[in-house]
Each structure stands twice: as structure tokens, then as C-alpha cells.
Amino acid sequence: MNRSIRLAKVRRAIGASLASMGLIYATAACGAGSGSSAADRTVVLATPTDLTNWDPAVGGDDLATLFFQTVFSPLLTVNVDLTVSPGIASVYSYNGTQTSLTLTIPAGQRFSDETPLDADAVKRNLDRTMKTKGGSATSLANITSVTVKSPTEVVIDLKAPDPGLLFALGRAPGMMVSPRAFGNAKITPVGSGPYVLDQHASTRGSRYVFARNPAYPHPERYGFDKVELRPMRDFNAMIAATTSKQVDVGGVAADGVEPAKAAGLTVKAMPSNVIGMWLVDRGGELAKPLADVRVRQAINHALDADGFIKAISKGGGTRTTQMFAVASQSYDASLDSRYPYDPARARQLLAEAGYPHGFELKMPSENAFEPAYYPIVQKQLAAVGIKVTYIPVAANQIADRYLGGEFPAFMWTYSPSDNWLDATYLLSKNGIYNPFHTDDRKVTGLLARIQKAPRAQQQPLFQQLNRYVVEQAWFAPLNIDPVYITWKPDKVKGTIGDKQMFIDLRDFQPLAG
């Protein structure tokens, strides 16, 4: 081939490429923005994370629950006010010692692959979850056996009373997978929920499309015929998708609230996260001063929660002194005024504890979650004499190092849920968020009493526990940092309560007609 022919070919190739690129740009710019119209009864929701895998037996957080509840039904239902009501099980009851839970599974229920959802399927699911390594198995760790009494009745026996079990059965550990789909449960979800995953229309990591499950017995609870979940890890992406109305339901950070409102979206704040300083070395192993309750109280007085809310949360948070959920039975609004910002009182408490000139405190810092807090915390503690030195920690090492007992105190964003789970995680001697295994006789005693009490009698005990922990200043919570949910009011009717902490698919319904 001579050179001129070769060059001609190169030129033609370049020309063709340019032409096709021009065509791409020209055709791509045509048409209006995407999203769904009101008539097609499709709702598009943005989620801040992607689902790791589809197997509820492995476990997952509240965001995973949003994915799970499209295709799976739980044995019980956790309502947005954290109460529990029937789910797949129409009736549930404990025996007198709270160690045996009987569930009634109404006849006629089926998975989307037509496999019967009966007591046997429930047993096989729970047995499998208990053997699967992951968070769900931990939630069911108290179960000793699951017995099928009849096709409509299953009995769960426990080693000891477990006040967190009902909540767990309403979340991932209680989501039922078709036994025929166990082998591929991580990849292909087959459940009995309101929708089924349309694998063909979905693009993993980008767009999950769900169509109605014809076998679902209560379609009236979910108004949309089609649901789309779109993971967006980057908050700028989420804000852009929300304000450009590419998605019907989304979320924004505090900075995005006004632009979202200006774009005509409804914005609702959910009190989901408690941001604060955790004073975990309560025995004074690494930082001796923290063993003194007056020092811990001084730290609570030294931090200006209202200032953080104004400066960082753009006025959107609420000051708090508590770790429990606002909607929960433990929460006591009167406790939130226990530690007003009062540096003089902080200095006085430090002096009474024998630290009139303060002390040095080593804390970790990170860039992934709340970097804006660190310099302000350091400055405010320095104002009362506590000199904080930060040790940078990589994002993927935060959990291991913070919860491994390497630091006496650290900043943490916690999402509370069920009171019993929070109490056992945060306060019990072997709780995963109690890295120094603080063992307080009063806390242990109250936890033991709550464990044995029927659910209806737990509230005063939980409140007593909460009051005690606040008084002992185990933590220095600053503010309840809201998560802002947005939706298109001309397309979606959203119902989110003031104290609601997580969203449920049923919160969003099509507008009438």
C-alpha cells in the first residue's frame, strides 16, 4: 500500500470519527431532561450508596434496607416511629419469660418465583442467616433454635430475652429470600416484596429498576408501578440530580437546601445522625483525666453545640446531649439542656478534678467525614486548657483504630436506631462501640432489667439509663445532624414525620389521579 492511499485512509477515518462525534453531540443534546413523568407512575429515587450485594442474610444498613424492601418482605415491620407491627407474620407473641417467640405465617403467601412462603421457608431463612457470616447473623445470635410447629406457625427459642429481636426481624435479618434462590442470593434477589428486580433494564452500580410483583398481597400500599433506585456516592451528583429533577426523590446536604427549594422541591429534614465527641477511655487507661466524671462533664460544657450547628450545619441541626434516637422511648428532651456552653463552668470542673491548667489529649482526625469539626473542637477545648493533638487516620482504618482502643476520645457520627441495639452497642461492657469495655454497675444492672422486661414496660428503664449516661458524660454529643430528603411535589406525595430517621418506600406515593 503506498503512502498516499494510507494517508487518505487516515484522513477518511479522522473525518468519519469527527462526523460521528458531531452526530453524538448533536443527537445527545436533543430532547428534554430525563426523569419520569407524572403519568407513568414511576418513581426514581437517588441513594447515597450502592448496594454491596443482594443477600439480606449478609446484612446491611438502613440504606441497604431501602434496596431490600423493594424485593423482600420482612417477618415484622419496623415503622418509621421505630415501633414494630406485623409483616409476613400476621401475629407475634412472646412467652412469659421472653425466651420464646411464636410467629403466625398466614397460608397462601408466595415468593415471586412461586415458591410457598410458609413456616418451613421462614425456618430455612433464619437457619441460613444464622450460619452466614455478617451483620445479620449477629442480630440473631441469641436464637438457639427455630421450630416449625405447623405450616403456619414457627417458634423461635432464645438463649436469653432479646429486646432487639423484633426490630431485627423487621430489618435485613428478617427479610425472607426464596429458598430456591439461596444459591445465588448475593446476585439475584428473589423475595416476596412489592417489586421484582428487572435485571435487563438495570445497570449495576448506576440504575436498579423494579416492576410490580404480581404475587404481592398488598399492592395498594405501594402506589408506584415502577421504582428506580440510582446510587450516587458523590453528594454533588446527588444535588445535581435532585435540583435538575432527574430524580423524583433525592437528598441534599445543608448547602443544597436553599437551591433545592428554589428549584421547587419539597425539602424535609430527618434527625438521623448524632455528631459528637466520644469520651471512650472512661477508665483513664490512655488519658487519666477522662476517668473523672467532672472532666468529661467539663468537655461537654466546653464545646459550643449551637456554634457548630450555625457554622457547619448551616443552622439545620438540633443541639443534644443524648445518643438515643429522637423518636425512641429513651429520648428525653429535657436532657438536652444539661450541658450549656459554659467555658467558665468547664474550667471550674477541671480545677475541681485536679486539672486547673488542663491536660493534653491525643485524638484522631480524618478527612472523610467531619473534617470541619476538628479545628473548632481543638480551639474550644484549648480555651479551657485541654490541649488536643490530632493524629491523622486514613479513611479505611477509622473503624479498626477508633474502635480498637487506640484513642481515648474521638469524633464520631452515629446513626441511632432501636434503643436496645444502641444500648448494647454503646453501653454494654462488650459493646462494639465501647472500645475500653467500660463496665459500670448501674448501666449493667439497668440493661439486665430492660432485657427481662416486656416491651411495654421498658420505657422508664431506658429513660433512666439514658439520664444516667448523660449525667456521667460518657459522650459529648453536639448536635443531631439532619439528612435532607427532597421530592418533586408535582409528582410525589411525600409523608415524612418530624422525628423520622430513615425513609421507607411507602413514604412516597403518586399524587392522586
What Å distances lie between residue 116 and 92, 176, 221, CA to CA?
20, 11, 22
- Answer yes or no whether residue 13 interacts with another protein by CB under 8 A: no
From 91-99, 153-161, 242-250, 340-348, span contacting another protein (CB under 8 A) = 242-250
From 9-17, 323-331, 445-453, 462-470, span contacting another protein (CB under 8 A) = 9-17
What is the CA 396 to chain-centroid distance, rounded?
Answer: 19
Of the candidate residues 43, 232, 275, 327, the single one contacting another protein (CB under 8 A): 232
Residues 6 or more apart from 328 whose CB is under 8 A from it? 82, 416, 418, 419, 462
Of the candidate residues 397, 444, 457, 495, the single one contacting another protein (CB under 8 A): 397
- Least Cβ distance, residue 450 to another protein (angstroms): 18
Question: Whose CA is closest to 192, among 118, 287, 95?
Answer: 118
- Answer yes or no whether residue 425 interacts with another protein by CB under 8 A: yes
Count of all residues that appear for the chain in the document: 513
DSSP-derived secondary structure for 213-261: -TT-S-GGG---SEEEEEE--SHHHHHHHHHTTSSSEEEE-GGGHHHHH
Q: Which is nearer to another protein, 259 or 340 (CB)?
A: 259
From 17-25, 214-222, 321-329, 354-362, span contacting another protein (CB under 8 A) = 17-25
- Answer yes or no whether residue 21 interacts with another protein by CB under 8 A: yes
Q: Which is nearer to another protein, 139 or 378 (CB)?
A: 139
The answer to whether 358 and 294 are in contact (CB under 8 A) is no
Q: Which is nearer to another protein, 119 or 260 (CB)?
A: 260
Rg (alpha carbons) of the chain, rounded to whole number:
26
Size of the site for another protein (CB under 8 A): 59
Of the candidate residues 122, 165, 269, 403, the single one contacting another protein (CB under 8 A): 403
Question: Which is it for strands 359-365 and 386-392: parallel, antiparallel or unpaired?
Answer: parallel
- Answer yes or no whether residue 96 interacts with another protein by CB under 8 A: no
Question: Which of the residues 136 through 165 are near another protein (CB under 8 A)?
Answer: 137-138
- Answer yes or no whether residue 29 interacts with another protein by CB under 8 A: yes
Of the candidate residues 16, 432, 460, 489, the single one contacting another protein (CB under 8 A): 432
The continuous run of DSSP H or E covering 197 comes out as strand 195-197
Distance CA 180, CA 175 (A): 15
Give first-to-last CA distance, the chain, whole Å.
69
Of the candidate residues 148, 211, 215, 237, the single one contacting another protein (CB under 8 A): 237
The answer to whether 124 and 49 are in contact (CB under 8 A) is no
The answer to whether 93 and 456 are in contact (CB under 8 A) is no
What Å distances lie between residue 480 and 61, 230, 465, CA to CA?
19, 27, 20
Q: Which is nearer to another protein, 134 or 358 (CB)?
A: 134
Question: Whose CA is closest to 251, among 267, 274, 230, 275?
Answer: 267
Question: Which of the residues 448 through 507 are near another protein (CB under 8 A)?
Answer: none
Distance CA 343, CA 334 (A): 21
Question: Which of the residues 195 through 214 are near another protein (CB under 8 A)?
Answer: 201, 203-207
From 27-35, 150-158, 310-318, 379-387, span contacting another protein (CB under 8 A) = 27-35
From 277-285, 311-319, 390-398, 457-465, span contacting another protein (CB under 8 A) = 390-398
Interface residues toward another protein, by CB under 8 A: 4, 7, 11, 14, 17-18, 21, 24-25, 27-34, 50, 52-53, 55, 59, 133-135, 137-138, 186-187, 201, 203-207, 230-234, 236-238, 240-241, 243-246, 263, 394-397, 399-400, 403, 425, 432
